[in-house]
Amino acid sequence: MRKKIIFSLVALICAYCAWAQAPQRYFQYPEPPESLETLDQRTSFLVEHFWERCNLKSAFSSRAKMHEAFNDYVSFMPYADTTVVCQSVRKLIKDVKKNAPDHISVLFEMAESSLYSDSAEYLIDPVYLIFANAAAKSKDVSKEARERYAMQASQIGASIVGNKLPNIDITTVNGESKKLNDISASYLLIIFDDPNDPENLMARVRLSADYSLNKLIERGDMTVISLYPGKADQTWKDHVSTYPANWVIAASPEANKYFDQRVKPTIYYANKEQEILSKSLVAENLLVAFRKVLQNKERIEEAREEAKRKALEQKNSDTQSSVANS
């Protein structure tokens, strides 16, 4: 099945190459050579050479067509080598600064729309971080925009997958002040609380009622934190009074600075070392994953108990045989 999917994707890229030369394209897109057979090789080639036939000096004369081409460029990134993608992005920024300096702000806006905004189809943090950092330092961008990009870069950079959770100050609903890293757990699930978001409410209700998640919490395999990115005032305390008793309920104004909260509901998943394993998670997918994790743990424990039982039976049998022969 997996091979079939890969071959289908490769076939799709091959078909795309013919389409890429069609008159309706803003400029001719690159064609991967036949010697490149794997999906990552072909998409990496497309990303690396995408802009070679584009005249950047005049390309921004049609912002709509340029944005369409940029979206095509982005669409290959998830399948391409990350190093190649990042190098390509840095080169694009450099080339636009050189050949179309008056339009560098437009490029950053396109990146924000295609890689960061609510309507973005692809959220590729390492890629957008390059754009955001460059935009935050660019003199060709307004002060207001630079501040916006700087905040985006700060949030993404601090909470990117693979990094450790930002060690922010938190206040629990009981009034206890501590650091986020003070909470130890085999696995940590952080759900950002937004009282005004109906999707957040639905996710919280579904997760709190899930048998598998509650069982994992009971076993000590999971700790769930409901984190409000604001002050621990009385209004918040009243709001969370009905939240699950087996969750850690906390608030922290610092969360807005250090956590990317674009996707609602915002959910982070971290391991024992508090390394971020995933984010922008969907509650439905989590429920399925928790059920599988619990079933797997229970199967392992049942196998261990069965092995102990058989070992004990064998020991008793050996003892009886020894007594009978003495």
pLDDT tens digits along 9-45? 554 554 455 444 455 778 999 999 999 989 999 999 9
Residues constituting the chain: 326
Is residue 129 helix, strand or coil?
helix
Closest to 226 in 3D by CA, of 263, 262, 268: 268
The mean pLDDT value of the chain amounts to 88
Place 208 in a pLDDT band, splitting at 50, 70 and 90.
Answer: very high
Which DSSP state fits 186? S
Which residues are 271's β-sheet partners? Answer: 187
Q: Is pLDDT at 193 greater than 70 in this prediction?
A: yes
The residue from 158, 186, 211 where one domain ends is 158
The pLDDT tens digits of the residues spanning 230-258 come to 999 999 999 999 999 999 999 999 999 99
Task: Look at residue 31 and tell me if it is in a domain.
Answer: yes
Q: Is pLDDT at 269 greater than 90 in this prediction?
A: yes
Is residue 227 helix, strand or coil?
strand
Q: Is pLDDT at 323 greater than 80 in this prediction?
A: no
Place 306 in a pLDDT band, splitting at 50, 70 and 90.
Answer: confident
Place 93 in a pLDDT band, splitting at 50, 70 and 90.
Answer: very high
Task: Look at residue 187 and tell me if it is in a domain.
Answer: yes
Q: Is pLDDT at 8 greater than 60 in this prediction?
A: no
Is residue 268 helix, strand or coil?
strand
Place 326 in a pLDDT band, splitting at 50, 70 and 90.
Answer: low
Sheet bearing 177-179, strands edge to edge: 177-179, 169-172, 248-251, 223-228, 187-192, 267-271, 276-279
**Are both 140 and 199 inside the same structural domain?**
no
**Are both 59 and 142 inside the same structural domain?**
yes
- Is the overall model pTM greater than 0.85, yes or no? no
Maximum CA extent, the chain: 100
* Structural domain boundaries enclosing 8: 2-158
Q: Is pLDDT at 90 greater than 60 in this prediction?
A: yes
Query: CA 158, CA 93: separation in Å to the nearest integer?
Result: 23
Place 1 in a pLDDT band, splitting at 50, 70 and 90.
Answer: very low
**Are both 22 and 58 inside the same structural domain?**
yes
Provide the domain count of the chain.
Answer: 2
Residue 16 confidence (pLDDT): 53
Task: Look at residue 58 and tell me if it is in a domain.
Answer: yes
Instruction: Give start and end residues of each alpha helix (H) in the chain.
Output: 2-20, 39-49, 56-59, 63-75, 82-99, 104-115, 125-137, 143-158, 198-208, 211-219, 234-239, 255-258, 283-325
Which tokens belong to 2? 């997996």
